[in-house]
């Protein structure tokens, strides 16, 4: 059951311990191990009471809630009967409480243009855009797709949706027209918000053009709002398309936030699962908002004066919870950067950190591996002394990369928070609390207050110390997903059917003798490429939709920078294997899903290894793709000669 091929090899014997720096702990919210233990224990003893108190204190209520948790497994309702608004909590609250002059967003575009918005500015712009959407008839409960570059307007669009009760579905701006259409249709989106183009490594990516192609296949979409970011020529469909700047120019800067039921959907975010279709993960208003706020404050130990930079794109959950809802609820000053980390050169991030005096920095291990490869010179030419905390998310970080981050970026004085969580969990579930918990490189350390992880075997029984097993969560928490958009069966099946009474995360994990958790990779066929989740079946479906492909199997193989790369094995109908066809298939996957899913290796074969019952033997293909000796059990293999052939075909 447990994957002994991947990360675990690297982290099994890691025993270094890095206590929190004394200067950090002295001023931290949770300053000692004892304080953490007490807080965690208090929450574990009575999670409902714990969240009830926080719910009352931390959110603004138009109407107070009457019941903290209604739990009809697997359906949770938090803060029942209450009315709040996530945009109000993120923006109005600060302005109304005298913090309107505080900087909310420091934005830097890829070409070097800069803008700064205070919380008061943000309020005005959100209100104008909210009114603009209303003028098009968009309102409570309507779904709105957002396909935009990392500009302030992306955050403004999300917050404006929250303000009027529209449900946003942000689609990462690297996805294809096909992928956009699929998401528009699944959500029944009424509008799409996009930009003419986005800057990426000095080139303009034509976002509007891609959306135009998607809209041909998106019958529910009535309106398309377009931000003029790059000044690219675009095609225009009158009546359907509207310029952002024209709409807001005419819109009033006043727009009261709509009181929303605690459980009103806030957003849908599509993510890959182990079957073909992406899952629309549904998050609701009050519980998600509270969890994003508190987890942000606990994990990043945010305080006034910090300049916080999360490098994630709003197209992923990290951008939702830790670029927008968490930090804005906490009144943080957030840096947002539009472009690539190596444009115009490989020191761009460190240049930004130095110029804007960033104090809290949150990025992904895949980025750290790229920085290591690009060399220390790019780091050393900058003064990074403003940094006081570093974080990672998206995949495990191996101890070597962790040490580099610690020494080269953190100057051995910044705690590193390795945060484990998922689109489904809404916020960080496990992480060192930076003032309290000594870190171990490669471990996400301990659960947050109110989170009760249990590692179980396939019978659902808790496993002992250092025994790997499935990671589950024993008690509902406010940030948890509330379902899969339009697919209740799948929600029950994926997360709640294998281990009764507990949320099944889909990751393997191990808990060591000190109570530290170590994530050991997925239990399913989900790939993690550069910290992004991809479904093997989604890639296979894309490949077999090509007229020359008979059958395809996609697996992950270790990759120096991406963590995992996509390797596919393809059997053809009539065509002969060729480099041209290989290239055509790569382009085909790009078109069907997006550049992030493009296979790194394509191997042609005349058959795929299968069990006698016809199941593709992925474990075996994984070993072959990784160039490893076969360790998997091959006794059920139907035709052994296939293996020999696959090995011969290695590139």
The answer to whether 450 is annotated as binding is no
Please state the separation of Cα 628 from the chain's center in Å.
31
Residues 6+ apart with CB under 8 A from 104: 91, 94, 117, 118, 119, 121, 122, 328, 333, 334
The answer to whether 511 is annotated as binding is no
Cβ nearer to ligand WTA, comparing 74 with 82 = 74
- Beta-carbon neighbour count of residue 237 at 10 Å? 9
- Residues 466 and 263 sit within 8 Å (Cβ to Cβ): no
Cβ nearer to ligand WTA, comparing 124 with 418 = 418
User: Given the rule CB under 6 A, which residues bind ligand WTA?
Assistant: 271, 316-318, 393-396, 418-423, 444, 506-507, 519, 522, 528, 533
- Residues 110 and 165 sit within 8 Å (Cβ to Cβ): no
The answer to whether 385 is annotated as binding is no
The answer to whether 530 is annotated as binding is yes
Cβ nearer to ligand WTA, comparing 131 with 318 = 318
Q: Bridge partners of 563?
A: 529, 559
Q: Please report how close the Cβ of residue 191 comes to ligand WTA at its closest, in angstroms.
A: 25
The answer to whether 404 is annotated as binding is no
Q: Please report how close the Cβ of residue 321 comes to ligand WTA at its closest, in angstroms.
A: 8
Q: Please report how close the Cβ of residue 345 comes to ligand WTA at its closest, in angstroms.
A: 28
The answer to whether 605 is annotated as binding is no
- Residues 176 and 597 sit within 8 Å (Cβ to Cβ): no
Residues 6+ apart with CB under 8 A from 327: 296, 302, 308, 310, 334
At 505 the three-state DSSP class reads strand
The answer to whether 342 is annotated as binding is yes
Q: Please report how close the Cβ of residue 541 comes to ligand WTA at its closest, in angstroms.
A: 20
The answer to whether 421 is annotated as binding is yes
The answer to whether 203 is annotated as binding is yes
Burial 241-251 (b: 16+ CB within 10 A, else e): bbebeebbeeb
Cβ nearer to ligand WTA, comparing 117 with 310 = 310
The answer to whether 100 is annotated as binding is no
**What is the DSSP code (8-state) at residue 575?**
P
Q: Please report how close the Cβ of residue 289 comes to ligand WTA at its closest, in angstroms.
A: 17
The answer to whether 522 is annotated as binding is yes
The answer to whether 318 is annotated as binding is yes
Cβ nearer to ligand WTA, comparing 190 with 532 = 532
Q: Please report how close the Cβ of residue 144 comes to ligand WTA at its closest, in angstroms.
A: 21
Cβ nearer to ligand WTA, comparing 423 with 536 = 423
Residues 6+ apart with CB under 8 A from 264: 140, 141, 165, 284, 285
Q: Please report how close the Cβ of residue 519 comes to ligand WTA at its closest, in angstroms.
A: 4
Please state the separation of Cα 246 from the chain's center in Å.
32
- Residues 368 and 401 sit within 8 Å (Cβ to Cβ): yes
Cβ nearer to ligand WTA, comparing 210 with 528 = 528
- Return d(Cα 416, Cα 363) in angstroms, integer: 11
Cβ nearer to ligand WTA, comparing 77 with 507 = 507
The answer to whether 108 is annotated as binding is no
CA distances from 185 to 19, 169, 282, 486 (A): 50, 12, 16, 11
The answer to whether 383 is annotated as binding is no
Q: Please report how close the Cβ of residue 320 comes to ligand WTA at its closest, in angstroms.
A: 10
Residue-by-residue DSSP string for 127-176? HHHHHHHHHTT--TT-EEEEE--SSHHHHHHHHHHHHHT-EEEE--TTB-
- Return d(Cα 505, Cα 9) in angstroms, integer: 22
The answer to whether 56 is annotated as binding is no
The answer to whether 102 is annotated as binding is no
Residues 6+ apart with CB under 8 A from 122: 91, 104, 105, 152, 155, 156, 159, 328
Token pair in block for residue 472: 């589950």
Q: Please report how close the Cβ of residue 207 comes to ligand WTA at its closest, in angstroms.
A: 22
Q: Which long-range contacts (CB under 8 A, 24 or more apart) does 617-626 make?
A: 618/525, 618/536, 618/553, 618/555, 621/553, 621/555, 621/567, 621/569, 621/646, 622/5, 622/555, 622/556, 622/557, 623/5, 624/650, 625/555, 625/556, 625/557, 625/567, 625/569, 625/601, 626/5, 626/557, 626/558
The answer to whether 234 is annotated as binding is no
Cβ nearer to ligand WTA, comparing 510 with 588 = 510
Q: Please report how close the Cβ of residue 471 comes to ligand WTA at its closest, in angstroms.
A: 8
Token pair in block for residue 565: 């790369």
The answer to whether 194 is annotated as binding is no
Q: Please report how close the Cβ of residue 498 comes to ligand WTA at its closest, in angstroms.
A: 15
Token pair in block for residue 398: 């191996």
Cβ nearer to ligand WTA, comparing 165 with 442 = 442
- Residues 210 and 196 sit within 8 Å (Cβ to Cβ): no
**What is the DSSP code (8-state) at residue 384?**
-
| Residue at shortest CB range from ligand WTA | 423
- Return d(Cα 646, Cα 626) in angstroms, integer: 12
Q: Please report how close the Cβ of residue 509 comes to ligand WTA at its closest, in angstroms.
A: 9
* Cα–Cα nearest to 166, from 131, 121, 197: 131
- Return d(Cα 351, Cα 348) in angstroms, integer: 5
Cβ nearer to ligand WTA, comparing 125 with 528 = 528
Residue-by-residue DSSP string for 433-491? -TTT--B-TT--B-BPTT--EEEE-TTSPBP-TT--EEEEE-S--TTS--EETT-HHHH
Cβ nearer to ligand WTA, comparing 331 with 506 = 506
Q: Please report how close the Cβ of residue 542 comes to ligand WTA at its closest, in angstroms.
A: 19
Q: Please report how close the Cβ of residue 392 comes to ligand WTA at its closest, in angstroms.
A: 6
Cβ nearer to ligand WTA, comparing 100 with 394 = 394
Token pair in block for residue 425: 């969990």
Cβ nearer to ligand WTA, comparing 354 with 487 = 487
**Which residues are part of a known binding site for Mg(2+)?**
544, 546, 549
**Which residues are part of a known binding site for ATP?**
394-396, 418-423, 507, 522, 533
**Which residues are part of a known binding site for CoA?**
200-203, 318, 342, 530, 590
**Which residues are part of a known binding site?**
200-203, 318, 342, 394-396, 418-423, 507, 522, 530, 533, 544, 546, 549, 590
């Amino acid at each position: 059951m447990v994957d002994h091929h991947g990360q675990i090899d690297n982290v099994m014997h890691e025993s270094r311990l890095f206590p929190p720096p004394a200067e950090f702990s002295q001023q931290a919210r949770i300053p000692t191990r004892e304080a953490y233990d007490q807080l965690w224990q208090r929450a574990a003893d009575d999670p409902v009471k714990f969240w009830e108190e926080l719910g009352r204190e931390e959110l603004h209520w138009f109407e107070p809630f009457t019941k903290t948790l209604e739990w009809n497994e697997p359906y949770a309702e938090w803060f029942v009967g209450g009315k709040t608004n996530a945009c109000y909590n993120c923006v109005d609250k600060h302005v109304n409480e005298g913090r309107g002059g505080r900087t909310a967003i420091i934005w830097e575009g890829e070409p070097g243009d800069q803008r700064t918005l205070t919380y008061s500015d943000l309020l005005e712009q959100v209100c104008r855009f909210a009114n603009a959407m209303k003028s098009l008839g968009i309102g409570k409960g309507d779904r709105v797709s957002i396909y935009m570059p990392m500009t302030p307007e992306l955050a403004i669009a999300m917050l404006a949706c929250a303000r009027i009760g529209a449900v946003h579905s942000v689609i990462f701006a690297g996805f294809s027209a096909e992928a956009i259409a699929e998401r528009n249709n699944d959500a029944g989106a009424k509008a799409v918000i996009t930009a003419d183009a986005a800057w990426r490594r000095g080139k303009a990516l034509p976002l509007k053009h891609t959306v135009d192609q998607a809209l041909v296949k998106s019958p529910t979409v009535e309106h398309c709002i377009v931000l003029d970011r790059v000044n690219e020529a675009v095609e225009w469909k009158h009546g359907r398309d509207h310029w952002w700047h024209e709409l807001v120019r005419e819109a009033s800067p006043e727009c009261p936030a709509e009181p929303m039921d605690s459980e009103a959907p806030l957003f849908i975010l599509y993510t890959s699962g182990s079957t073909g279709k992406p899952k629309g993960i549904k998050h609701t208003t009050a519980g998600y908002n509270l969890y994003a706020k508190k987890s942000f404050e606990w994990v990043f130990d945010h305080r006034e004066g910090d300049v916080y930079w999360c490098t994630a794109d709003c197209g992923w959950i990290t951008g939702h919870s830790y670029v927008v809802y968490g930090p804005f609820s906490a009144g943080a000053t957030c840096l947002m950067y539009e472009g690539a980390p190596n444009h115009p050169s490989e020191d761009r991030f460190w240049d930004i950190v130095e110029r804007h005096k960033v104090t809290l920095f949150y990025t992904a291990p895949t980025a750290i591996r790229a920085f290591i490869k690009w060399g220390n010179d790019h780091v050393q030419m900058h003064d990074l002394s403003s940094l006081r905390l570093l974080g990672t998310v998206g995949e495990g970080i191996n101890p070597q990369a962790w040490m580099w981050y610690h020494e080269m970026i953190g100057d051995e004085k910044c705690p590193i928070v390795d945060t484990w969580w998922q689109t489904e969990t809404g916020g960080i579930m496990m992480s060192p609390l930076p003032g309290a918990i000594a870190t171990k490189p490669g471990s996400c350390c301990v659960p947050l207050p109110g989170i009760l992880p249990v590692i179980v075997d396939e019978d659902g029984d808790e496993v002992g110390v250092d025994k790997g097993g499935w990671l589950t969560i024993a008690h509902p928490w406010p940030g948890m997903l509330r379902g899969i958009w339009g697919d209740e069966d799948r929600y029950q099946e994926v997360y709640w059917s294998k281990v009764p009474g507990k949320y099944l995360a889909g990751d393997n994990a191990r808990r060591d003798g000190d109570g530290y958790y170590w994530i050991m990779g997925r239990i399913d066929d989900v790939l993690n490429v550069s910290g992004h989740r991809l479904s093997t079946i989604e890639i296979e479906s894309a490949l077999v939709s090509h007229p020359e492909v008979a059958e395809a199997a996609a697996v992950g193989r270790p990759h120096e920078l991406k963590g995992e790369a996509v390797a596919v094995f393809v059997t053809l109908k009539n065509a002969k294997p060729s480099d041209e066809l290989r290239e055509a298939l790569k382009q085909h996957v790009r078109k069907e899903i997006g550049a992030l899913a493009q296979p790194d290796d394509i191997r042609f074969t005349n058959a795929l290894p299968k069990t006698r019952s016809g199941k593709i033997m992925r474990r075996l293909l994984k070993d072959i793709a990784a160039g490893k000796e076969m360790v998997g059990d091959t006794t059920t293999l139907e035709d052994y000669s296939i293996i020999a052939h696959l090995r011969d075909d290695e590139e």
